[in-house]
Amino acid sequence: MTNREPHHDLYVPKGATAGAHYALDIDPERAGWTYSSLRIIELEPGGTHLFTTGDSEWIVLPLEGGCTVHTANEEFQLLGRESVFASVTDFAYVPRDARATIASGAGGRFALAGAKCERQLPARYGPAPEVPVEERGSGTQLRQVRNFASADAFDCDKLIAVEVITPGGNWSSYPPHKHDEHRPGEEAELEEIYYFEIDGPHGFGYQRVSPSRAGGADVLAEVRSGDAVLVPDGWHGPSIAQPGHAMYYLNVMAGPGETREWRICFHPDHTEGYR
């Protein structure tokens, strides 16, 4: 299946959801689900952006540049980074039912990863040195996972978010896996957004989502910087990076489970011999 066939709405090319404030704006209504959201904001030098969190919790994650995040009672100075390929970054957590302002003296690009939630947790700062980083897979499946808001690394009510760097020519999100059913101890139901950036002006990659049920999500998308892919259900992976061009993606996940956890099921046809 290509981007132009049914389920093309799960592939979100750069600019398709752009509006007055955001370069990318995916909320539950746009995605056709209940919990997960992602916004990308681009600020000019000296720019500011005020937003209300509503019924969702949010993490402000610098993609390029630094900023200050102001809430009613807190102020967080985010050093940020030169680019998503340069390093991990610090970040700020903003709770539901709050107002926040992002201000950037030098300008930059910032992701707002969100999830509809129930509890109002305190606003907090996430230091870059405390982000757990792991090398996952081996050989041509090697990738770096930055677990800045994984279920066991940073406390949120519903939101789970991680970053992945896939070296040029490598596969990640492999073996294909899914998390679209509630099976206690085995699988957690989670809606997921992939947001992509590719190293180099002409770089690209590929993202596959295949059905786990009749009529389920089915996408093969050629992705470039600024694109996103929505995963309401289905086996997702591989994510394939063009040789010579590293691939970055931000995963944003949330679901209805009472326990915030990332439990997945691997595709049985692709696990034999995998290490």
Inform me whether the pLDDT recorded for 6 exceeds 70. no
* Residue 86 near residue 62 (C-beta atoms within 8 A): no
Taking the C-alpha atoms of 124, 126, 132 and 138 in order, what is their torsion angle to the nearest 10 degrees? Answer: 110
Read off the pLDDT of residues 178-206 as tens digits, 9 standing for 90 and up. Answer: 999 999 999 999 999 999 999 999 999 99
Under the banding of pLDDT at 50, 70 and 90, the label for residue 272 is low
What is the average pLDDT across 242-256? Answer: 98
- The answer for residues whose C-beta is within 8 angstroms of residue 149's C-beta and 6 or more apart is 59, 91, 113, 126, 156, 159, 160, 161, 162
What is the average pLDDT across 127-147? Answer: 97
Q: How far apart are CA 219 and CA 216, in angstroms?
A: 10
Q: How far apart are CA 219 and CA 21, in angstroms?
A: 28
Of all residues in the chain, what percent carry a pLDDT higher than 90?
A: 93
At residue 73, the pLDDT reads 87
Read off the pLDDT of residues 150-170 as tens digits, 9 standing for 90 and up. Answer: 999 999 999 999 999 999 999
* Residue 234 DSSP symbol: S
Half-sphere exposure of 3 (CA within 13 A, CB side): 13
Under the banding of pLDDT at 50, 70 and 90, the label for residue 269 is confident
Q: How far apart are CA 142 and CA 211, in angstroms?
A: 25
Judged by phi (left if over 0) then psi (alpha if -120 to 50, else beta), residue 153 lies in alpha
* Residue 253 near residue 192 (C-beta atoms within 8 A): yes
Q: Any idea which residue has 């059913």 for tokens?
A: 181
Inform me whether the pLDDT recorded for 1 exceeds 80. no
Inform me whether the pLDDT recorded for 8 exceeds 70. no
pLDDT mean across residues, the chain: 95
Read off the pLDDT of residues 59-100 as tens digits, 9 standing for 90 and up. Answer: 999 999 999 999 988 999 999 999 999 999 999 999 999 999
Inform me whether the pLDDT recorded for 3 exceeds 70. no
* Confidence (pTM): 0.95
Q: How far apart are CA 173 and CA 169, in angstroms?
A: 14
At residue 59, the pLDDT reads 98
Under the banding of pLDDT at 50, 70 and 90, the label for residue 275 is very low
Inform me whether the pLDDT recorded for 4 exceeds 90. no
Of all residues in the chain, what percent carry a pLDDT higher than 70?
A: 96
Judged by phi (left if over 0) then psi (alpha if -120 to 50, else beta), residue 88 lies in beta
Of 101, 110, 91, the residue nearest 149 (C-alpha): 91
Read off the pLDDT of residues 10-58 as tens digits, 9 standing for 90 and up. Answer: 999 999 999 999 999 999 999 999 999 999 999 999 999 999 999 999 9
